[in-house]
Amino acid sequence: MTMTAKQFGPIAAAGAALFLVSYGATLAFNGAAGKPGAEFDERGLTALHRAVLDDDVARIESLLMQGTPLDAGARGTGMTPLDLAAIYGRTGPLGVLLDNAPAGGVAGGILDRLLARAAIHGHYEAAGLLIGRGANVNQTTGAFSPLVWEVAHHAHDDVVGLLLEHGADPNAACPDGLTALHAAAGLGGPGVGYLLDHGANANALALDASTPLHFAARAGRIDAAFALLQRGANANAPNRLGKTPLDYARERKDGEVAALLAEHAGTPAGKEQAMPAHLAPDQARLLNSSGWAERVGADTGIWVSVGEQMTRIVQGEAILWQAPCATAANGTGAEMDSLKTPPGWHSIASKIGGGAAWGQVFRSRRPVNEAWKRGGTTAEDLVLTRVLELTGEEEGINKGGDVDSRARNIYFHGTNDEARIGTPSSHGCIRLTNDAVIEFFDRVNEGTKVLILP
């Protein structure tokens, strides 16, 4: 709907003031009083404010030629004609006003706030104009939320795409850990695809461990759920309440979404296994009989089950995370040059590659100027994306002499052989998919205990 000057009065008194509080200080400048056209009407607006709201470019140009100031703040709100042009998407007036700014142009901080107002209100052309003038697409709003999140939260998918095309970070997070993909997934629509195409993490974790797929499942957005699953979203990941996306779909009795998630919650290679909130009784007994309580106690530990080809992060009896892995094709064993996965207690000696690109190649634990892309073909067994070096904790079993795991270069790492994740196929290391190893790397610390059991 096009707002005219006559309709603006109530908005100036209420909604506009909120925008000023939420998205930054007033754009008004000193010195406007007494200049031609600076007089306020009964609604607190100047002639230039009214021309902007009426989308009347000719009148704006005439007023500016008469010396009417473009920086006069509306009485009661302080909003300038530039503010109104951004908020109401008046692209023509916005361009004219920017072109007629005082010497030196409009300051970057003001451009940023104008972009926030245009983008959050879904004005694609006005946002594009401001980006072209240098406004920052990676700014945060007054609530310390990334602009791309705010726009996704308001379901302006086309503007989300515009921000991404101009370099907005798709994984920028709010203070509570929510990303734009969380917001878009709960609303559905093309914004999910835009974000995924620009590198958004399909398994991004909020502070409550909710993923975008949790949001899609809670809202019944089958389009978003399908897109996320196609990009590797984990249908079995529990949040802090121990609930998976599938749990939420079943709770809301959404048969269609539940069926889709259940299909992806099975156990084929490369897919995360069904994730209980807690260890099964036999699993808890197995860990405790192996000394878990004594070595890990109440801390977080890592359990690698060779028999299941599964890596789990466990605290107490809660499974915090899990994903299929690939241990050695030659089975378990600690001898040098055996190409076997060493059993027993280890710890993470070092974490290497934090922040590296997906598919980064490592040689001798160092990143090199190579990257692997999914679908690439090579006979070489590559170490990719992240490296977590292991050191043995049990003398004579996996530490010292010819059975030293660290001397054998045993790691957790990403791989170019993702198709065989879930089957014993490595040369001794513990392989994870490249998406999974990034998540794993971010969840554990150096010194974390690792138990490898047959």
Q: What is the pLDDT of residues 127-139, one digit of tens each?
A: 999 999 999 999 9
- Looking at residues 371-380, what average pLDDT do you find? 80
- Looking at residues 51-66, what average pLDDT do you find? 93
DSSP state of 399: B
Domain boundaries, the chain: 5-196, 281-453
Whether 281-453 and 5-196 are alike in CATH topology: the answer is: no
The rounded distance, in Å, linking the Cα atoms of 96 and 135 is 17
Q: Where are the alpha helices (DSSP H) in 188-221?
A: 191-197, 212-219
- Looking at residues 185-203, what average pLDDT do you find? 91
- Looking at residues 136-160, what average pLDDT do you find? 93
- Looking at residues 335-344, what average pLDDT do you find? 96
Whether 302 has a pLDDT exceeding 80, the answer reads yes
- Looking at residues 412-427, what average pLDDT do you find? 91
Q: Where are the alpha helices (DSSP H) in 188-313?
A: 191-197, 212-219, 222-230, 245-251, 255-263, 281-289, 292-295
% of the chain with per-residue pLDDT over 90: 61
Q: What is the DSSP string of 322-389?
A: EEE-B-BTT-B--STTS--BPPEEEEEEEEE-TTPPTTEEEETTEEEEEE--TT---SS--EEEEEEE
77 band by pLDDT with thresholds 50, 70 and 90: confident
% of the chain with per-residue pLDDT over 70: 88
269 band by pLDDT with thresholds 50, 70 and 90: very low
Query: Across the chain, what does the average pLDDT equal?
Result: 86
Q: Return the CATH superfamily for domain 281-453.
A: L,D-transpeptidase catalytic domain-like (2.40.440.10)
pLDDT at 22 (0 to 100): 37
Please state the length of the chain.
454
Residue pLDDT, tens place only, 22-44: 333 333 333 444 555 567 788 88
Report yes or no: 16 and 6 within 8 Å, Cβ to Cβ.
no
105 band by pLDDT with thresholds 50, 70 and 90: low
* The CATH number, out of the four listed (1.25.40.20, 1.10.1380.10, 3.40.50.12280, 3.90.1150.10), of the domain defined by the range 5-196: 1.25.40.20
Helix, coil or strand: residue 413: strand
Q: Which of 102-116, 225-239, 383-397 has the highest mean pLDDT?
A: 383-397
Range of weakest confidence among 47-51, 70-74, 429-433: 70-74
pLDDT at 226 (0 to 100): 92
Helix, coil or strand: residue 449: strand
142 band by pLDDT with thresholds 50, 70 and 90: confident
What is the reported pTM?
Answer: 0.54
